Amino acid sequence: MKAKMNNMTYLALLLLILGILSGCAGTESFSPTARAGDTVAFGAGWKQKFDRETLTVTMTDANSNTFTYLPSDPAVRAVINLYPDPLSYLVVGTRTGLNDRSAATYGSIINGTFTGNDPDWWQTTIYLDLPSDLAAGRTDVRFVSSNGETYGPYPVQIIPGQGSPSQFNAEILGAMQPNQMQSMERRPSYTVRFSGGSVFPAAMQIELTHNPDSSAGGTGKTFVVNPRGEIKNLAWTDNGTNTRVLLSAAKPGTGLGNWKQYKFYVTGGITGLQVVPSSVKAYDANGNLMSGVTATVQ
């Protein structure tokens, strides 16, 4: 969609940069100063389980009044994961060791301190309409997911005056409708992870089964996602009930440096995804079959 969004939207996108450079953890909202009723974006860091359906938002204003948004409240406009540009200094520097603009240093901090060497980086950004009757002064905002993750309290300075929710005006369609923003949210998915010894395979294959998708008379449509294409190649096929996935290191003749780099996602509204027993086959750089590699679905 060719969109011409307002300044708050562009500022919110900067949260990704600020969050990554501060260690993948947002430090303040955009804008940190707002009027009651305004739309504010919050950078919540690398959150695995934040979504509108499970998120409760609690706000305490300067007069100690408490306001609560329960899960799926329309005032929580969207919960979107923002990703770094794959050609950014940050990504390229992390993969090559080039430290232009301290990129490799920042990447090392993100991997080692915040994501536990999971290369799938993002900044969870929450777009929130503030209550219209907040008192002027500091309001603390806290986010709690029923899945166990929390963030906050997050301070916003409320200034005098009456604000209004952002319309996120677009060039062609006018004011952005709720589904337009929410279509950028992360769809529920399965995560397939691998484990094994200290030697990492150069290539692997795995087979999975699932309840029939729409091509086999069921619901949903199978879709397999590789979170970091510059780290590994991924090819897959599906016949409506069975999925086969082939993985190989992007750099031929080598293995990946961490088991977390082999993970991938399966989504599309399917149900009942399971690993076919004994289907995992791992190969070293010489094409020899390796033992001891297992897979799990979460």
Residue 220 — very low, low, confident or very high, per pLDDT cuts 50/70/90? Answer: very high
Residue the block writes with tokens 């916003």: 156
Tell me the pLDDT of the chain averaged across its residues.
89
| pTM (predicted TM-score) | 0.86
Residues 162, 132: contact at Cβ < 8 Å? yes
In angstroms, rounded to a whole number, what is the distance separating the alpha carbons of residues 43 and 29? 6
Look at residue 219 in the predicted model and tell me its pLDDT. 96
Domain 190-297, CATH 1.10.530.10 — does that match?
Answer: no
The closest alpha carbon to 276, from 243, 250, 254, 248, belongs to 243
3-state class percentages of the chain: helix first, strand second, coil last, to nearest 5: 15, 35, 45
User: With 60 as the cut, is the pLDDT of residue 244 above it?
Assistant: yes
In angstroms, rounded to a whole number, what is the distance separating the alpha carbons of residues 226 and 273? 17
Q: Tell me the HSE value of 28 on the side-chain side, using a 13 A CA sphere.
A: 10
Residues 267, 256: contact at Cβ < 8 Å? no
68-117 pLDDT, tens digit per residue, is 999 999 999 999 999 999 999 999 999 999 999 999 999 999 999 999 99
Residues 290, 284: contact at Cβ < 8 Å? yes
- 190-297 shares the fold of 7-83+122-182: yes
- The class level of CATH for 7-83+122-182 reads mainly beta
Share of the chain above pLDDT 90, in %: 81
Listed by start position, the domains of the chain span: 7-83+122-182, 190-297
Name the more confident of 26 and 198. 198
259-273 pLDDT, tens digit per residue, is 999 999 999 999 999
Mean pLDDT over 253-260 rounds to: 90
